Structures are given as structure tokens and as C-alpha cells.
């Protein structure tokens, strides 16, 4: 399976990052979204991020110009269907992802590989609703995509070896490292990371420490580059809660019960950096803890 063109569905933070690295690696990219403003914003962000790479001499201006020219934006799934590999990077809700695949299927080439950038949802279940479960797998990038070196490749129960090998080659061409994960809730990274973040929220909820003391303790005491609450704000508290719910529902273990304070922040619409408030308030010049 030779992959030369890639369709990316969803032009948000993950989608524009995936389009960015794919274009730099020489793939022709179709970036799709239901919203033209989201596509325009994504192109601005990709340009900004590549320009930063040029300023740091990671890439040349010529490389950037060539990569930008490889990215086509589209509101139509028909354009996505003509690509060799599709990476769905929409909201982390199974109903949304399933609806996208349902709409996309009539437009696909027979040989197109379907993948999802989901961070927690069952690949086997998503694949079972398509016409190609053997050519469907999880292709989970870390955020921010241009910086992070790992990609989790998740086989569903029906995923065949040529599909896995083809996706592994794509990761190699990106200059990243792949980790093979089995299809269990939250896979590897989030199976370990999210309960740690959830426990940090419980530590705050129970009054063991403040936002500042919890984050400083983990940065200076465990040598983490970011504190767990700062990291939760970066990821998005709604995403953290969604993954904890997948773990809790999928594994039926009380140790994965989402902290009530995490739920409360999401109910308030305080989702972290993207809404300017989470465990920190980002509306001023420097972030200020909200508890």
C-alpha cells in the first residue's frame, strides 16, 4: 500500500497539526472541516507554526513554501474520499466520529485506509460500522503534533497486517516513533496519564494542596516539564473528562471515577487554555490559579 495523499477530517488543534507534519513529509493533504472559518484559521496556524520552524532553522523557507502548497482545504468529504489514507481528527465523541465515517464511506476508494486520531474510543467498535474493518486502525498523535515524537498505532480486532505496516511506514516518513497499542480503553499514554491528572484534581478537591503547590510539587519533585493541572488546561478539561469517562465505563473500576471537581469545571465551561479559564485564569498577562 503506497500512501501519497492524506485526508485529515477536522481542522482544530490536532487536525491542523497533522496536516502540518504530513505536508512537510511530502504528502499531498486534503484538510476538511464543516466550517470554512475553522479551515481558514487552521491555515493561518499552520503558516505561523512553520514560520516558527524557519526562524529556528528547523526547516528552510523553501521547504515551508512547498509544504504549504501541498495543503488543500475542503468542506466536501468527496475530496477526502479520493485520498490514500484518511485520518479523522474530530471531537472526542463517538457519535460525532461515527456520523463522519457514515457520511464518508460512499466517497472512499476501495483501497483507502481509514484511521481515527481518537485518544480513547474503541477502534474495533468504530471499525465495525464501516465497510473496511480490516483497513481501519487508530492513528493517535500527541499534542502539539509538530513537536511530539510519539504516535500510537492501535489495531482493532480486524485490522490486517498490510494496514498496520502501511501506517507504520507513514510514521517513519514523518520522522516520528510509533508505539503499537492494543485496543483497550485509552490505549497506553492516556491509560497512564489521565488517572494521574484525575488524581491531581482529587488532591486539589480534597484540599491537600493548592493549584500552585500541586503543579510545583510535580515539576520540582518528579521532574515533570509541566504540572498535571497546567497540563490538563493545555489538553482541555472536557477532553480529560471524556477520557476518564471512557476508562470508567470501559473498565468498570472505581479507580477511574472522574473527580467531581473536574466535572464541575467542565459544567462551568472552564475548559482550560482554549476558553481562557480552567485551573488557571489566562485572561491576564500571566496565568493565575483559580483555586
Which residues are annotated binding-site positions? 10-15, 33, 92, 97, 119, 143, 274
Tell me which of 16, 49, 116, 119 is the catalytic residue: 119
119 is catalytic: yes
20 is catalytic: no
Provide the annotated binding site for NAD(+): 10-15, 33, 92, 97, 119, 143, 274
Q: Which of 16, 140, 178, 198 is catalytic?
A: 140
Active-site residue, from 49, 152, 198, 230: 152
In the chain, beta strands by DSSP E: 5-9, 28-32, 71-74, 85-88, 113-116, 136-141, 150-155, 177-181, 280-281, 288-289
CA distances from 244 to 2, 66, 229, 234, 259 (A): 37, 40, 15, 16, 9
Q: What whole-number distance in Å separates Cα of residue 90 and Cα of residue 31?
A: 12
Q: How far apart are CA 99 and CA 4, in angstroms?
A: 26
- Strand 28-32 to strand 280-281: parallel, antiparallel, or no bridges (unpaired)? unpaired
Annotated catalytic residue: which of 120, 122, 178, 190? Answer: 190
Q: What are phi and psi of 225, to 5 degrees?
A: -65, -30
Coil vs helix vs strand at 136: strand
Collect all residues with Cβ–Cβ distance below 8 Å to 167 and sequence separation of at least 6: 85, 113, 115, 137, 139, 153, 178
At 29, phi and psi to the nearest 5? -115, 135
Q: Taking Cα atoms as reference points, which of 194, 192, 143 lies closest to residue 20?
A: 143
Q: In this structure, what C-alpha cell is assigned to residue 231? A: 497540563
By annotation, the residues acting in catalysis are 119, 140, 152, 190
Amino acid at each position: 500500500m503506497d500512501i501519497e495523499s492524506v485526508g485529515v477530517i477536522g481542522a482544530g488543534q490536532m487536525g491542523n497539526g497533522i496536516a502540518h507534519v504530513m505536508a512537510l513529509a511530502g504528502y499531498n493533504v486534503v484538510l476538511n472541516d464543516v466550517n470554512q472559518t475553522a479551515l481558514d484559521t487552521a491555515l493561518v496556524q499552520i503558516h505561523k507554526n512553520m514560520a516558527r520552524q524557519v526562524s529556528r532553522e528547523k526547516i528552510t523557507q523553501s521547504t515551508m513554501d512547498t509544504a504549504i502548497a501541498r495543503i488543500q482545504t475542503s468542506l466536501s468529504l468527496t475530496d477526502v474520499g479520493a485520498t490514500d489514507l484518511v485520518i479523522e481528527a474530530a471531537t472526542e465523541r463517538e457519535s460525532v466520529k461515527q456520523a463522519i465515517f457514515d457520511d464518508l464511506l460512499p466517497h472512499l476508494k476501495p483501497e483507502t485506509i481509514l484511521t481515527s486520531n481518537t485518544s480513547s474510543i474503541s477502534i474495533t467498535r468504530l471499525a465495525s460500522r464501516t465497510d473496511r474493518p480490516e483497513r481501519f486502525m487508530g492513528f493517535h498523535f500527541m499534542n502539539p503534533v509538530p513537536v511530539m515524537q510519539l504516535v500510537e498505532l492501535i489495531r482493532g480486532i480486524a485490522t490486517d497486517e498490510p494496514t498496520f505496516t502501511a501506517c507504520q511506514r507513514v510514521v517513519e516518513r514523518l520522522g516520528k516513533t510509533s508505539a503499537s497499542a492494543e485496543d483497550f480503553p485509552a490505549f497506553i499514554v492516556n491509560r497512564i496519564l489521565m488517572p494521574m491528572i484525575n488524581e491531581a484534581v482529587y488532591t486539589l478537591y480534597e484540599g491537600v494542596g493548592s493549584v500552585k503547590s500541586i503543579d510545583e510539587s510535580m515539576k520540582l519533585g518528579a521532574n515533570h516539564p509541566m504540572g498535571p493541572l497546567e497540563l490538563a488546561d493545555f489538553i482541555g478539561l472536557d477532553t480529560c473528562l471524556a477520557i476518564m469517562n471512557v476508562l470508567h465505563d470501559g473498565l468498570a473500576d472505581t479507580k477511574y471515577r472522574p473527580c467531581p471537581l473536574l466535572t464541575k469545571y467542565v459544567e462551568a465551561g472552564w475548559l482550560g487554555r482554549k476558553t481562557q479559564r480552567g485551573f488557571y485564569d489566562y485572561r491576564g498577562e500571566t496565568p493565575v490559579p483559580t483555586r
